[in-house]
Structure 1
Amino acid sequence: MDNKKGGVLQLDWIDLIPKSERNQFNAQGMPVQNHSGSAAKQSLAGKVRQDLNGSSVKIPGFVIPLEGDANKVTEFLLVPYFGACIHVPPPPPNQIVYVKLPKGAPVQQLWDVIYVVGKLKTVTMSHELAETGYMLEGTSIEEYDDY
């Protein structure tokens, strides 16, 4: 989508993939997955878009909590579809965003798709669930609308 509203770039997941690599994704913008065979590993193929480094962005996604307590989540993985990183294999690193939200987000707001707003960095983060190609210094979450 790559739309800019009020200085914030509104992104879709396909926007995180360099144009030269988008042929590896299906019509819905999801990575082509192979679930056959033995325990599948995350494909580390795929580059990030360096031109997005430092951009203020808004991106929708599903939350996989990493840090927080019973009331708030302060660090999480943002993924393009429900169950990513829980089922194998995880999406490639350029389709997972590591989010740090210092003020935290109420747990009850994180069950459905949400928007996360903040500053995007092209930083590789390794976690036991997956490797990420982006890190987002989150400033807020917003209710998802698809208009």
Structure 2
Amino acid sequence: MKIFFRVAFFLCAGLVSTHLLANEPKEIFWEDLIPKGHLQISNQDAASHDGTEQNWVQPDLNAPVVPELNNQTVTLPGFVVPLEGNSEIITEFLLVPYFGACIHVPPPPPNQIVHVKIKDGVPIESLYDAISVTGVIKVETWKGDMAQTGYTMQAVGVAPFEL
């Protein structure tokens, strides 16, 4: 009987640790949101700050996404474009690859923007600082006044980005 319980204990412990490892976030970067072999249109360098309507058009609305990322737990660094919240916390934001995207320069293609919601909100000390967001990413479109996204994320954590 002792052997049975010992074997059962180790079996359960192995299953639990395998489950925890499977749910550990995978660190990804912006290039991972673009399918391999796709030539990405980038407007960051060519963006104009003169405010004309033509320069604020989001490029490549049909930019392809990476279906294999759907429902994966990931950590992605980026910058915040606030959408919902108050003076203390934000509960919804766009995560973008560079500072000023969607605000000071035209938005990047949809496969370079993630629409993020975080249930209890999170304080953002400075919108100039890069952060890392952890959560479950989904391959789905979200459209708002500022931009269209190719991904959404239900975040479970936000931390300052560290190299």
2:125 pairs with 108, 111, 128, which one? 108
Unpaired runs of 5+ in structure 2?
Answer: 1-20
1:64 aligns with 2:88: no
**How do 1:26-45 residues align onto structure 2 when only pairs under 5 Å count?**
31-33=42-44, 34-35=46-47, 39-40=54-55, 41-43=57-59, 44-45=61-62
Residues 69-118 of structure 1 deviation map (CA, whole Å, 9 limit, x = unaligned): 11100000000000001134210000000000111111325441000000
Unpaired runs of 5+ in structure 1?
Answer: 26-30
Name the % identity.
45
Q: How many pairs were matched up?
A: 137
Whole-angstrom CA distance in 2 between matches of 1:49 and 1:74: 26
Whole-angstrom CA distance in 2 between matches of 1:106 and 1:87: 22
Match of 1:28 in 2: none
How far did 1:35 drift? 3.4
Say what the alpha-carbon RMSD is for the aligned residues: 2.1
**Which structure's CA Rg is the greater one?**
2
- TM-score for the superposition, normalised by structure 2: 0.77
Match of 2:65 in 1: 48
8 Å Cα contact 1:39/1:88 also seen in 2: no
1:94 pairs with 111, 120, 127, which one? 111
Secondary structure at 1:39 match in 2: helix
2:33 pairs with 1, 8, 16, which one? 16
Secondary structure at 1:19 match in 2: coil
- TM-score for the superposition, normalised by structure 1: 0.84
The structure in which a higher percent of residues are strand is 1
